[in-house]
Structure 1
Amino acid sequence: MMIRPAELAAIKAGTIDLAFRRWAKPRVVVGTRMRTAVGVVEVTSLEQVSVTSLRAEDARRAGAPSLAALKEALSARSTDPAWRIGLAYAGPDPREALRQSVPDADEIAAINARLDRLDASSAYGAWTRETLDLIDLNPTVRAPDLAAQVGRETPDFKKDVRKLKELGLTESLAIGYLLSPRGEAVVDASLPEPRQRAARTSGTPLPRTIGAPATRALREVGVTTLEQVPAWTAADLAAIHGVGPIAIARLAEAMAEQGQGYREE
């Protein structure tokens, strides 16, 4: 179930708790937990509805600007039933804690055995260590550029990186990837000496919901963490090419969760 970044942020904030979709048959069930850019979102209810029965309150809870706008959005694929889906923020992605967990020797052996199985079942051949090393040596580089370096198609490459992410070995950024501390430990265990890496930026990563163009633009002016944003006014950031109104709003929401905000004009 695809949910737009702005809607995900609103679900986390509690201002959206419904979604409406046209599906030939349900694609989720009550209890489905989806890992998203803002954390885990859970399906709390699911029912087929008539579009004519919808009310303004439904539109408000779904984040639509009006009832008319909600009905217009549901006018496509009108031969499919309409579904009313209850949604709730269910906490941070559990992989976040796993990524920070540095494995001991026994755990590294178990991880390597899992990587061996992934390699053995792949039509591409051995890819797991190659991909870990590629990400380690090229942090924050776009997935298409990484895939091109090893002669792979981007969709297949990204699908394999997601398998590494499930093991807590990689972190997805708005642009590119990083090895997690867990992933670094696995890579270092295969080397004669631990690899020398740039120091990790301390602080909260910029929210992925601001989008890649805004993330790239902020990096260019030295803003790489949420804690650096309060030094700027909203107007100053908005003047940077690539940082649009949605990014400004998403940053404000993320800062508000930490009791921060933009510097006053």
Structure 2
Amino acid sequence: MLFKNHILDGIAKGEISLAFRRWKSARVNSGSRLHTTIGVLEIVSIEAIHDWEISDEDIKQAGFSTREGLLKEINSFSNDGNIYRIVLVHIGADPREELRERNELTEQEFVEVRGKLERLDKASPHGPWTAKFMCIIKQYPGLRSTELASAIEWETEKFKLNVRKLKNIGLTISLGTGYQISPRGEVVMERLELK
């Protein structure tokens, strides 16, 4: 789920606690967690409803002042499927942010990270990719994902999906445009002797 910045700001301030989406089938579940620019959001509950079931309080809790504005936003995502009422809560900072800033790893931590990278490489139908991705991101920080993917002959969406896997273990940072290696990633690359 994507959220506009003013909605995220409202969630962070505790002013917004609902989201509405129109989908053919639910794309999140109760208990799901979403990583956003304001931190981690948790889906408290999700239910399919009719548009006439949206109350005035729901409209306010979703960050809108009018029913028309909310319905226009819901339909801007899709005109097909059910409307889902999603209760969500901001549960705190993204733990990956703290992880990525840690530039000291114990031997055990390094072994764990190396093992995760090896498993990612083994699971890929394209063969080993983690070292290649880290090296090109280090070489071209901030370069658009389309250009990075093209440079190593990968499809852009698959490239972005795999960079998220590196981000999940604290090795990369997403920028406004492109990526960079995190302080933790720098240490891992040095210990793996990647250049």
Q: What TM-score do the two structures reach when normalised by structure 1? A: 0.65
How far residue 186 of structure 1 moved from its aligned partner, in angstroms, is 0.7
Amino acid across the alignment from 1:38: I
Could you list the runs of 5+ residues in structure 2 that have no partner in the other structure?
A: none
* Distance 1:16-1:119 versus aligned 2 partners, 3 A rule: same
- Residues 129-153 of structure 1 show CA distances to partners (whole Å, capped at 9, x for unaligned) of 1111111122122111211221222
Report what 1:88 is aligned to: 89
Map of 1:4 onto structure 2: 4
Amino acid in the other structure paired with 1:148 = S
In the TM superposition, 1:1-265 aligns within 5 A as 1-74=1-74, 77=79, 80-101=81-102, 102-191=104-193
* Inter-partner Cα distance in structure 2 for 1:147 and 1:172: 15
Quote how far apart the aligned CAs of 1:73 are: 4.1
How far has the Cα of 1:96 moved from its partner? 1.1
Query: Greater Rg, structure 1 or structure 2?
Result: 1
Residue 62 of structure 1: CA displacement?
Answer: 0.9
What percentage of residue pairs aligned between the two structures are identical?
Answer: 38
Provide, for residues 46-88 of structure 1, a one-character-per-residue CA deviation record: whole Å limited to 9, x for no partner.
333332232332222112241122234446636x332221121
Cα 1:61–1:167, aligned 2, differ >3 Å: closer, same or farther?
same
**Separation in 2, partners of 1:163, 1:88:** 24
SS at match of 2:19: strand
Whole-Å Cα distance in 2 between the matches of residues 127 and 31 of structure 1? 32
CA offset at residue 37 of structure 1? 1.9
Give the AA of the match of 2:117. Answer: L
Distance 2:73 2:140 in 1: 41
Structure number with higher relative contact order (C-alpha < 8 Å, ≥ 6 residues apart): 2
Measured in 1, the distance between the counterparts of 2:55 and 2:84 equals 14
Q: Which moved more, 1:124-133 or 1:52-61?
A: 52-61
Paired with 1:40 and 1:163, the residues of 2 have a C-alpha distance of: 17
Structure 2: distance between partners of 1:74 and 1:108? 45
Instruction: Count residues in correspondence.
Output: 192
RMSD: 2.2
**Structure 2 vs 1, CA of residues 118 and 74 (structure 1 numbering), >3 Å: closer, same or farther?**
closer
Distance (whole Å) between structure 2 residues aligned to residue 123 and residue 48 of structure 1: 37
Cα separation, 2, equivalents of 1:41 and 1:108: 29
State the distance in 1 between where 2:153 and 2:25 align: 38
Q: How many Å apart are 1:98 and its aligned residue?
A: 1.3
The normalised TM-score by structure 2 is 0.87
Q: Shift of the alpha carbon at 1:111?
A: 1.7
Distance 1:135 1:52, change over 3 A: same
Unaligned runs of 5+ in 1: 196-265
